[in-house]
Amino acid sequence: MLNWDDPLTAPTPTVKQAPQAEAIVNDELQIPEAVVATKTTEMPAEAAMNLDIKPVNPDDKRVINGLTDINQLAPFKYPWAWDYFLNGNKNHWTPLDINMAQDVHDYHHNLTLEERHVYENVLSYLTTSDILAMRNIGLAVMEKMSAPELQIYQARQVYEEALHTWTYQHCIETIGLDQGEIYNRYRVVPEINRKIQITNRRLASILRADINLRDPDELQNFVMAYIFFAAIFEGCWFYNGFSPIFALQRRGLMKGTAEQLQYIMRDEVLHASFGIRVVKQIMFEEGIQLDPKAVREMWDEALEAETGYAGYILKDPILGYSKEDHIEQFRFIANRRARQLGIEEPFPGAESALPWLDEQANLRKEKNFFETRVTEYQTGGALNWE
């Protein structure tokens, strides 16, 4: 049973010296005497490893900067991470499982021009965003984890981000949209591009070969980037980003697309929850205090970008959904993520502008994808993620 609000409960690696350089003199390889001596006396790697074999103590594990054997899964120090992995595997699905025939008819015959605009641009934003989420976890975050139970769930997360990208592509292709035009909107529509550029900046700051998480400034930046991806990018922008399609679903339109987004939302809520839990553990183990000014600027930038995005996709409101609803719901969800992080709510007094979301999810096939309990579409037993 996962409890997202549990308080969480963390040394220095040796620096390996580079081997002496071998020099070329008069086109002949010159090997320094010290290196020759080492080469003639060193033991095979396996024998050298055996000299320092001792059991792994789970108490010595750390989220980052750990020194224990990264290849040994158990004993766990973070059993909750393994629980996320087990739950994630109960969420298995593919976009081919959902019938899209009615969506094709709806798009071409039942949607208004304004509703087509919303549908296309939501997919345009999401297609690029899930690739960024995949690159963040797979390339910038996973390799910095020093406990394998964390990496194993993140490996599942990388797969799920790829699956989500396939889902959007499947919807675009099935509906018969111009893929080149839809995929390029993030580059040519400023309001979509703004969100992508903010994300790219955060990713670039930690996707570097020379990053050193023992440096306090680098560590602080890594934590802020992790918070951005978990609490804002996936926890707010994704979570809030599906709502316009759910508004169409509520009126009996684009139900196949909406069902796929419900499966994606279930994954994304787990991703956000896991990321928030990991970052809280890092802060505990490393003794990190967040800079209130930097956190405030992060929330304000995210709201500004979301406001511009909502103004573009909903420049003309659709029945049952407006840009004001979208923005207020972002503020409401941002407060929820801040509470999960244990920090001050950025938008005091914000209220849910979409009270029908939970009701809609509950009424359809007894599913609730909004951070409560899923009772359908799972394999391998009951899925607990409350």
Catalytically annotated residues: 168
164 has binding-site annotation: yes
DSSP letter (8 states) at residue 374? B
Query: What are the helix (H) ranges across 252-291?
Result: 255-286
Coil, helix or strand at residue 24: strand
Per the CB < 8 A criterion, the answer to whether 376 and 367 are in contact is yes
234 has binding-site annotation: yes
Query: For residues 193 and 199, what is the distance between their CA atoms, to the nearest angstrom?
Result: 10
Q: What is the 3-state secondary structure (H, E, C) of 165-209?
A: HHHHHHHHHHHCCCHHHHHHHHHHCHHHHHHHHHHHHHHHHHCCC
161 has binding-site annotation: yes
Nearest Cα residue to 124 out of 172, 173, 190: 172
Coil, helix or strand at residue 112: coil
Query: For residues 354 and 180, what is the distance between their CA atoms, to the nearest angstrom?
Result: 33
130 has binding-site annotation: yes
Coil, helix or strand at residue 23: strand
For residue 195, the one-letter residue type is K
Query: For residues 90 and 92, what is the distance between their CA atoms, to the nearest angstrom?
Result: 6
DSSP letter (8 states) at residue 44? P
Residue stretches of the annotated binding site: 130, 161, 164, 234, 268, 271
Residue stretches of the annotated binding site for Fe cation: 130, 161, 164, 234, 268, 271
